[in-house]
């Protein structure tokens, strides 16, 4: 066996044998971070339950309603200040005897087209009561059979119904490309997440677009002579249930509501499918005490029917929890008969029995009919293309105009970070990343050791904060630990990637550097792809969302991992005059932030780092950058500002990457870092800052700052 193969086997053995075993007193790393975040969520939810239990008078409930509305608007990033002209127009009509279907287009924002179907009764006397139907995540939007059936059933019961395509669905594909006759990123959930991650940079949510479409859809209903504007209800399923819930909390014009297959409670939801589409959760949501029930409290005491199913992935146990809560609220408001629940058998979706429950509820509260069962009338479902409101079935090829992505890019263009003094920048870093200075004992636990050719590897863990630990590999060259500067190494692939046969951490140790390779929060052993959508696009989006909902960020958690890693090196006598930080990929974002607050990092080398947050804001499509996003950062600082704040400590950025992960040309990579270059020139350390290239196979040790 040759020397290289032997080294690889020894390193691999050290890694595999050192993993904590069940019964070792350590929770497995893959479950540890999730458990920590769930623990934070439980604390927030317990505090919220205590606050809700104190709501006993109409005045207390009114105060909670105002809190929910104002907090939710902040989480959305606000709503547009002005309502532009709807420019509503009918593009066709289907006459079905006792009802008709108008195909319509309106603009919720200037040149931002919403495609919709309007179901209008042809019996009885107008003006009719109306029901807005936000839609769930059907790829064909308003043409999905269950949603069509609800529209027809309500029309046959004497209601005008407006069913509109959400962004990313039906005729409103965001990233449509004619060459593939579809989305460049795939499903509607991917489209929502893509825009949602970008929106977070500006402190906004993609739900802002969804809610505003719904508000303008109510405007559209009110503009129609067939509609009685004093009798407007809302009923949507799944993602449409989500939007129903948001809109009933914010828009006072809604008189009756029936959200379906959404209402649960985060106590149960977060341990089930967990966070889902980008519009279904918000940074700081749990910390602020906002649960499913809060949106419903904001609607009380108007008539509310919660529609659930026994086997939904929105847990029925959470629906029951929320129902109990709402019954108490409605009782306190003197309206116990105005809240109820229908539970159907089976799984998720707009089932016929659910639709029939909605017919009964709307008939009773909007038309004054007795509360009694209503059978679904016989009807037919239309072909998708017969419902198109555009000529081609796609806004992109028929009308053009804006999408949520292009609107973001244009809106964010004017948001530029201010040049903050060093002290203010550190304060902003702490605030936006929600970094918490590590407290408590470091509590280093050595798991195992292995002596290989030219080095000794120790697998250890240390506490980053109470309830959360970081796994690490400490590699000491056998020639002596003080021969060369110690390195703290972090890798988006985890420490295992750094100690692979061609790994940089292994090579740096063989070159004589003591190396502490750390699995930062959500990476390596602490990462998990459980839950979430499309790991190939977004990585561990479930963990990222959980951290955000708790009022933390993965970047802030990773800063704590790094700062405590420096403490480990100090404990082992390896700190010396400082530690060189080395990172690969998006792990470099956490390292840059840590260096801005901890001067023990005497220099940085970032290999394949993300170029900037500005690039995400200006680029329609990105890949696996979510864990590096800091909400609201866009107008405060960018990665180049962090590099500038580190001056005169040496910083090298090699093979800088775009938000899609491709290597930028050197001129493209250097341009965003002109501010950092100026800062180093001002500090008389121009040679200490470098944006450069690394050749394939070039040893990282040859590119370290100072060489």
Strand ranges for 56-167 from DSSP E: 89-95, 99-109, 112-121, 128-133, 160-164
pLDDT at res. 529? 57
What the block records as the tokens of 507 is 């090579």
**Whether 201 and 314 share a structural domain:** yes
What pLDDT band is residue 697 in, cutting at 50, 70 and 90? confident
Return the closest-CA partner of residue 221 out of 335, 126, 333: 126
pLDDT of residue 1: 35
d(CA 414, CA 372): 56
Mean pLDDT of 579-593: 96
Rg (CA), the chain: 28
Q: Is the dihedral of CA 176, 181, 183, 189 positive or negative?
A: positive
**CB of 486 closer than 8 Å to CB of 580:** yes
- 699: domain CATH number is 3.40.50.1820
Residue 33 lies in a domain: no
CB-based contact 216:83 (threshold 8 Å): yes
d(CA 51, CA 598): 38
Rounded to an integer, the average pLDDT of 660-670 is 95
Based on the fold, state whether residues 408 and 488 are members of the same structural domain: no
- For residue 601, the SS3 value is strand
Q: What is the dihedral of CA 463, 464, 468, 474, to 10 degrees?
A: -60
Burial of 683 (0-12, 13-18, 19+ CB in 10 A): middle
Q: Is residue 53 in some structural domain?
A: no
* Domain-embedded: residue 9: no
Record the pTM. 0.92
Q: Are residues 469 and 321 in the same domain?
A: no
At 617 the pLDDT is: 94
Averaged pLDDT, 395-422: 93
Query: What is the reported pLDDT for 193?
Result: 92
Query: Cβ distance 514 to 474 under 8 Å?
Result: yes
364 and 314 in one domain? yes
Range of weakest confidence among 131-145, 397-411, 454-468, 558-572: 454-468
Rounded-to-integer distance, Cα 117 and Cα 96, Å: 14
355 plus 467 within the same structural domain: no
CB 420 within 8 A of CB 641: yes
| pLDDT number for residue 203 | 95
pLDDT per position as a tens digit, 218-252: 999 999 999 999 999 999 999 999 999 999 999 99
Q: Is 92 left (phi over 0), alpha (psi -120 to 50) or beta?
A: left
Residues of the domain holding 164 = 62-412
If asked whether residues 656 and 529 sit together in one domain, one would say: yes
Question: Is 376 a domain residue?
Answer: yes
Structural domain contains residue 40: no
Distance of CA 491 to the CA centre of its chain: 22
Q: CA-CA distance, 601 to 598, in Å (whole number)?
A: 6
Q: Say how far apart CA 675 and CA 665 lie, in whole Å.
A: 18
In angstroms, what CA-CA distances link 459 with 399, 485, 515, 519, 526?
59, 20, 12, 11, 15
- pLDDT at residue 702, rounded to an integer: 80
The answer to whether 129 and 158 are in contact (CB under 8 A) is yes
Say how many C-beta atoms besides its own lie within 10 A of residue 88's C-beta: 17
pLDDT score recorded for residue 540: 72
Residue 455 pLDDT: 77
C-alpha pair distances (Å), 229 with each of 74, 133, 158, 233, 447 = 28, 16, 15, 10, 69
**What value does the mean pLDDT of the chain take?**
91
Reply yes or no on whether the pLDDT at 194 is more than 70.
yes
Judge whether 164 lies within some domain.
Answer: yes
**Cα→Cα distances 375→108, 156, 343, 357, 504, Å:** 35, 11, 16, 9, 68
Residue 57 lies inside a defined structural domain of this protein: no
Higher pLDDT among residues 342 and 535, named by residue: 342
Tokens of 77: 């990033």
Confidence of residue 147 (pLDDT cuts 50, 70, 90): very high
Q: Is residue 3 part of a domain?
A: no
CA distance 88 to 227: 15
Question: Angle CA(174)–CA(178)–CA(182) in degrees, nearest 5?
Answer: 50
Expressed in angstroms, the distance from the first to the final Cα of the chain is 34
**Helix H segments across 178-315?**
188-200, 207-223, 239-250, 266-269, 292-299
**Average pLDDT of 668-678?**
95
For residue range 260-318, list pLDDT tens digits in order.
999 999 999 999 888 888 999 999 999 999 999 999 999 999 999 999 999 999 999 99
* 633-645 tens-digit pLDDT: 999 999 999 999 9
On whether the CB atoms of residues 161 and 135 are closer than 8 A, the answer is: no
**Do 499 and 536 belong together in one domain?**
yes
Q: Do 131 and 161 contact (CB within 8 A), yes or no? A: yes
d(CA 134, CA 166): 7
Q: 217 and 99: one domain? A: yes
Asked if 442 and 403 sit in the same domain, the reply is no
Burial of 19 (0-12, 13-18, 19+ CB in 10 A): middle
Helix, strand, coil % (nearest 5) of the chain?
40, 20, 40
- pLDDT of amino acid 701: 79
Tell whether 568 and 497 lie within a shared domain: yes
Residue 217 pLDDT > 90? yes
Q: Are residues 374 and 438 in the same domain?
A: no
Are the CB atoms for 69 and 246 separated by under 8 Å? Answer: no
Model confidence at 706, in pLDDT bands (50, 70, 90)?
low
Tokens encoding 121: 């009764």
Burial class for 697, CB neighbours closer than 10 Å (0-12, 13-18, 19+)? exposed
Task: Read off the DSSP letter of residue 101.
Answer: E
Q: Are residues 441 and 331 in the same domain?
A: no
Domain count, the chain: 2
Of all residues in the chain, what percent carry a pLDDT higher than 90?
Answer: 81
Q: Comparing C-alpha atoms, which of 31, 447, 72, 496 is closest to residue 296? A: 72
Helix axes 554-571, 541-549, angle to 10 degrees: 90
CB-CB contact of 634 with 617 (8 Å)? yes
């Amino acid at each position: 066996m040759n020397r290289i193969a032997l080294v690889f086997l020894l390193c691999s053995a050290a890694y595999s044998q050192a993993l904590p075993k069940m019964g070792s007193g350590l929770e497995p790393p893959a479950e540890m971070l999730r458990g920590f975040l769930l623990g934070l969520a439980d604390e927030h939810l317990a505090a919220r339950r205590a606050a809700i239990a104190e709501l006993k008078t109409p005045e207390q409930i009114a105060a909670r309603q105002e809190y929910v509305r104002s907090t939710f608007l902040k989480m959305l990033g606000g709503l547009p200040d002005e309502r532009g002209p709807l420019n509503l127009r009918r593009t066709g009509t289907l006459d079905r005897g006792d009802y008709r279907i108008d195909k319509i287009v309106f603009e919720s924002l200037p040149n931002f087209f919403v495609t919709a179907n309007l179901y209008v009764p042809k019996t009885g006397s107008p003006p009719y009561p109306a029901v807005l139907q936000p839609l769930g995540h059907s790829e064909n939007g308003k043409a999905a059979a269950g949603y069509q059936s609800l529209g027809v059933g309500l029309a046959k019961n004497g209601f005008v119904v407006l069913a509109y395509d959400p962004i990313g669905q039906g005729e409103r594909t965001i990233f449509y490309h004619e060459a593939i006759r579809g989305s460049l990123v795939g499903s509607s959930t991917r489209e929502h997440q893509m825009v949602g991650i970008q929106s977070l940079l500006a402190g906004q949510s993609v739900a802002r677009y969804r809610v505003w479409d719904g508000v303008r859809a109510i405007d559209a209903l009110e503009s129609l002579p067939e509609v009685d504007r004093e009798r407007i209800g809302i009923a949507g399923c799944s993602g449409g249930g989500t939007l129903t819930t948001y809109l009933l909390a914010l828009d006072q014009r809604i008189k009756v509501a029936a959200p379906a297959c959404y209402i649960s409670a985060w106590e149960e939801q977060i341990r089930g499918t967990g966070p889902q589409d980008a519009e279904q959760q918000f940074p700081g949501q749990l910390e602020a005490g906002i649960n499913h029930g809060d949106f419903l409290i904001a609607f009380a005491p108007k008539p509310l029917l919660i529609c659930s199913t026994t086997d939904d992935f929105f847990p029925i146990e959470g629906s029951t929890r929320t129902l109990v809560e709402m019954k108490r609220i409605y009782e306190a408001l003197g309206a116990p008969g105005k809240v109820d629940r229908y539970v159907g058998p089976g799984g998720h979706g707009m089932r016929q029995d659910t639709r029939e429950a909605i017919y009964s509820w709307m008939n009773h509260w909007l038309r004054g009919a007795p509360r009694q069962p209503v059978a679904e009338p016989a009807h037919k479902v239309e072909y998708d293309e017969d419902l198109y409101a555009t000529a081609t079935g796609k806004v992109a090829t028929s009308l053009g105009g804006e999408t949520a992505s292009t609107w973001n890019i244009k809106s964010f263009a004017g948001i530029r970070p201010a040049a903050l003094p060093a002290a203010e920048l550190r304060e902003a870093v702490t605030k936006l990343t929600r970094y918490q200075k590590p407290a408590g004992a470091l509590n280093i636990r050595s798991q195992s050791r292995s002596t290989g050719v030219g080095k000794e590897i120790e697998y250890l863990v240390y506490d980053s904060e109470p309830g959360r630990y970081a796994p690490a590999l400490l590699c000491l060259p056998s020639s002596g630990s003080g021969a060369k500067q110690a390195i703290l190494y972090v890798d988006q692939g985890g420490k295992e990637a750094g100690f692979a046969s061609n790994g940089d951490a292994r090579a740096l140790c063989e070159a004589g550097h003591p190396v502490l390779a750390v699995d930062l929060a959500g990476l390596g052993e602490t990462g998990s792809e459980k839950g979430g959508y499309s790991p190939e696009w977004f990585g561990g989006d479930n963990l990222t969302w959980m951290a955000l909902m708790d009022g933390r960020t993965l970047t802030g958690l990773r800063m704590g991992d790094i700062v405590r890693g420096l403490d480990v090196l100090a404990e082992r006598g390896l700190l010396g005059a400082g530690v060189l930080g080395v990172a690969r990929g998006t792990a470099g974002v956490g390292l840059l932030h840590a260096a801005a607050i901890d001067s023990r990092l005497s220099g940085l080398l970032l290999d394949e780092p993300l170029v900037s947050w500005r690039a995400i804001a200006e680029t329609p499509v990105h890949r696996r950058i979510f864990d590096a996003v800091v909400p609201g950062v866009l107008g405060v600082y960018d990665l180049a500002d962090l590099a500038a704040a580190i001056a005169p400590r040496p910083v090298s950025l090699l093979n800088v990457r775009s938000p899609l992960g491709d290597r930028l040309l050197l001129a493209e990579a250097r341009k965003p870092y002109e501010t950092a270059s100026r800062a180093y020139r001002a500090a008389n350390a121009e040679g200490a800052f470098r944006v450069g290239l690394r050749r394939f196979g070039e040893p990282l040790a040859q590119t370290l700052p100072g060489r």
